[in-house]
Amino acid sequence: MSKKPVKTIADIARLAGVSKSTVSRALNDSPLIGIETKERIRKIARQHDFQINVAARQLSMKRSNTIAFVTHAYHKEFSVADLFGLEIMGGISLGLHANSYDMLVVHVDPRETAWAHEYLDTGRVDGFILMTATRKQSHIKYLLEMGAPFIVWGIPAANQSYPSVTGDNFSGGKLATEHLIRTGRKRIAFLGGPAEELEVQLRYGGYETALRESGRRADPALIAYGDFSNTSGAVAMRQLLGQAPDLDAVFVNSDLMALEAMEVIREQGRRVPEDVAVVGYDDLSIAQHSNPPLTTIRQNIPLAGKLLAQNLIQYLQAGVVTNVSIPVELIVRKSA
């Protein structure tokens, strides 16, 4: 009995349990697809006498020269809480423009992962810059499984190969805490972003190391977490003051959380920095205009955006995986 012919890439994708874009890349020997996956897809194609339609292949492989900037869904218009995304977007836009690429902003629900097929399989974008702050690892897992080209702002997971750009999070946490120790603070709190994120864990590692090197130990009562938003900074700061009313300093994992933390400190009748010193993270443009101006760890956000764009394009064109860590520096202002 003759084998029933497989007529489309979608048929191959269904049999292989992968996306159409993965099949297309495998049959065209893309460096973005692993050897094992390529061989499995090619074997299915041979078994079913699949013939590539050259005209259709050329059409499907045509690049859109558009990159998706993937961030969390907004429930309102852009606000102060979105400043980090806006500032890094500026650097990404410049990097893409220099390489004749456009940018499409994609808002995703952190709990959903099926969004990538909508943009990649239809050819609307060539790849993704992943900026989501929560549940990032689940999005990375999904993109890897479907063979999608992407780059991440953040720490690459162990034993996985994909491009990334991040700041030196461990050094940032250590610099912030060492500064507070040098200025004579005794009860230094840590107000983190999402506890499951690798960047936050490394910042905590820097904080803990600085304490240990000064002969101290991390106190669980001085630890709280938010989600990088300004509102979560207020909630976590109230938690810290309730748990450890004698704290005299706090290292906060984002400038936006730090601004709200200072408001809560003042609401409870304390002064910044006389009673509680505050150090933020990122050095957003608003940091130097806060009251008092915010001491913070500067990440070179424009450079980070430019590298995210350039390194993703390099990955698309040559399959080269780069993992870049950008140095950070302490910027001392009046809050500490």
User: Would residue 334 count as lying in a domain?
Assistant: no
Same domain for 282 and 180, yes or no, is yes
Residue 308: what pLDDT? 97
User: Would residue 336 count as lying in a domain?
Assistant: no
> What is the arithmetic mean of pLDDT over 204-214?
98
How many other β-carbons are positioned within 10 Å of the β-carbon of residue 158? 6
Cis-peptide into 156, omega within 30 deg: no
Residue 79: what pLDDT? 47
Residue 57: what pLDDT? 46
Residue 54: what pLDDT? 44
User: Would residue 79 count as lying in a domain?
Assistant: yes
Domain range for 44 is 9-60
Residue 1: what pLDDT? 40
Q: How far apart are the first and last CA of the chain?
A: 80
User: How far apart (Å, rounded) are the C-alpha atoms in residues 305 and 129?
Assistant: 10
User: How far apart (Å, rounded) are the C-alpha atoms in residues 66 and 147?
Assistant: 18
Q: In what order do the strands lie in the sheet with 277-282?
A: 223-225, 188-192, 249-252, 277-282, 295-299, 328-331
Same domain for 223 and 292, yes or no, is yes
Task: Please state, for a pLDDT cut of 90, what percent of the chain lies above it.
Answer: 58
> What is the arithmetic mean of pLDDT over 197-206?
94
Same domain for 178 and 286, yes or no, is yes
User: How far apart (Å, rounded) are the C-alpha atoms in residues 68 and 131?
Assistant: 10
Predicted confidence (pLDDT) at residue 220 exceeds the cutoff of 80: yes
Same domain for 294 and 190, yes or no, is yes
> What is the arithmetic mean of pLDDT over 147-157?
89
Same domain for 186 and 293, yes or no, is yes
Residue 135: what pLDDT? 66
Same domain for 21 and 47, yes or no, is yes
Q: Write down which residue in 60, 75, 94 finishes a domain.
A: 60
Pick the residue with more confidence: 48 or 288?
Answer: 288
Same domain for 146 and 177, yes or no, is no
How many other β-carbons are positioned within 10 Å of the β-carbon of residue 7? 12
Same domain for 193 and 281, yes or no, is yes
Same domain for 25 and 92, yes or no, is no
Specify the number of domains making up the chain: 3
> What is the arithmetic mean of pLDDT over 279-294?
95
Burial class (CB in 10 A: 0-12, 13-18, 19+), 167: buried
Highest average pLDDT, of 13-22, 39-48, 224-233, comes from 224-233
pLDDT band at 170; cut points 50, 70, 90: very high
Predicted confidence (pLDDT) at residue 60 exceeds the cutoff of 70: no
Going along 184-333, which residue ranges are E strands?
188-192, 223-225, 249-252, 277-282, 295-299, 323-326, 328-331
Same domain for 83 and 204, yes or no, is no
User: Would residue 192 count as lying in a domain?
Assistant: yes
User: Would residue 332 count as lying in a domain?
Assistant: no
Residue 262: what pLDDT? 98
Residue 20: what pLDDT? 77
pTM value surpassing 0.85: no
> What is the arithmetic mean of pLDDT over 247-272?
97
Residue 241: what pLDDT? 98
Predicted confidence (pLDDT) at residue 58 exceeds the cutoff of 60: no
